[in-house]
Structure 1
Amino acid sequence: MQNSVITKYGLHGKLTAQSGKGDELAEILLQAADLLKSAKGCHLYVISKDQQTAENVWVYEVWDSKEDHDNSLQVAGVRELIGKAMPILAGQPEKGMEFTVLGGTGLN
């Protein structure tokens, strides 16, 4: 049986909150995940907390394309959530790791 390759755009990044603000940052990102459920091209937007450092929050995303990802900033409410998150970050967000998703469970 031959595997079919499905190419998608992926992004994995870490945001670090100020001391004691990790839960607040995670909640803001979970609100963003809720907004992105119906965003064009969004297959996965997962928020995780680091088990070793409570202020580190990870975002794992899979999109049809980088363009769809970039356009997600136009989804109603997303920019407002970014405005809430920025003041509680401990510095600028790190550039996420971009990658090409080739396939796997749950990707159509």
Structure 2
Amino acid sequence: MIKYGLHGKLTATPGNGDKLAQILLEAAKLVATAQGCHLYLVSQDQNNNDAVWVTEVWDSKEDHDNSLNVAGVKELISQAMPLLNGRPEKGQELRVLGGLGV
């Protein structure tokens, strides 16, 4: 039951963390119906409101990659990019072995 996981931090420009988080929450609604999506969790750092974490679990990396083609996702990416403080860092790829809710 090995799944593909991705965990990454996106940092917004000062004062834009809430806007970035809202865009990512909209993305979560869109990809919730994508093939292979088990989890798309958006979290905000308690010590830095401009740091937003995204944790994803998919059946495969291919399913994750295909989620970028879900209607509306590319538009949300284009809204989020100007809010970022620099280029997004590559997320940490994980081999999800199991657990509650997976």
> Normalising by structure 2, what TM-score?
0.99
Match of 2:4 in 1: 9
Structure 2 unaligned spans of 5+: none
Match of 1:73 in 2: 68
Match of 1:62 in 2: 57
CA distance in 2, matches of 1:71, 1:55: 28
CA distance in 2, matches of 1:46, 1:67: 19
**Mapping for residues 1-108 of structure 1, pairs under 5 Å:** 6-107=1-102
Cα deviation for residue 80 of structure 1 reads 0.0
> Normalising by structure 1, what TM-score?
0.93
Cα deviation for residue 13 of structure 1 reads 0.1
Larger radius of gyration: 1
The AA in structure 2 aligned to 1:25 is L
Count of paired positions: 102
Q: Secondary structure at the match of 1:11?
A: strand
